[in-house]
Amino acid sequence: MAKTGLCHIALKVRDLKKTEEFYVGVLGLKVAFRHPPKMIFLTTPGSGDLLNFVKDAQRTSGKQGLEHIGFKVSSAGLKRMENKFKDSGIKIEGRRGKTALYISDPNGYQIEYYCD
């Protein structure tokens, strides 16, 4: 059966390679498919969600209304990601109690990992 509703979010990026390295290498997303030379679609393992990154040479203005991208994990998963960020030299920019933390990707997009 075909999936309906929201399937992906497309975000502009200046460096597609750096973006892929961060989301795949650090966050553990998988490449779903590519539309060379300017697009890549990534997915969270075990889900049907897609993040579409589109190469654009123009600098984006702020977050263009995007507050953050949220990834839900278990409490143990949150601790693993926190340790991974520390080991990778990625600054944790904020927290919401003990159930969420916030970082930024190489493009300045804020990412939330939460377990509530």
Q: Report the candidate in 13, 105, 111 with the shortest Cα–Cα distance to residue 54.
A: 13
Q: Report the candidate in 22, 113, 36 with the shortest Cα–Cα distance to residue 69.
A: 113
Which of the following CATH numbers is that of domain 1-57: 3.90.320.10, 3.30.930.10, 3.10.180.10, 3.40.50.720? 3.10.180.10
- Contact call for residues 103 and 91 (beta carbons, < 8 A): yes
Domain ranges for the chain = 1-57, 67-116
- Give pTM, 2 decimals: 0.82
Backbone φ and ψ for 72, nearest 5 degrees, come out as: -90, 130
Q: What percent of the chain has pLDDT over 70?
A: 89
Half-sphere exposure of 49 (CA within 13 A, CB side): 12
Amino acid residing at 49: D
Given this structure, which CATH class describes domain 67-116?
A: alpha beta
- Contact call for residues 26 and 16 (beta carbons, < 8 A): no
C-alpha R_g of the chain:
14
- Predicted confidence (pLDDT) per residue in 51-99, tens digit: 999 998 876 665 566 778 999 999 999 999 999 999 999 999 999 999 9
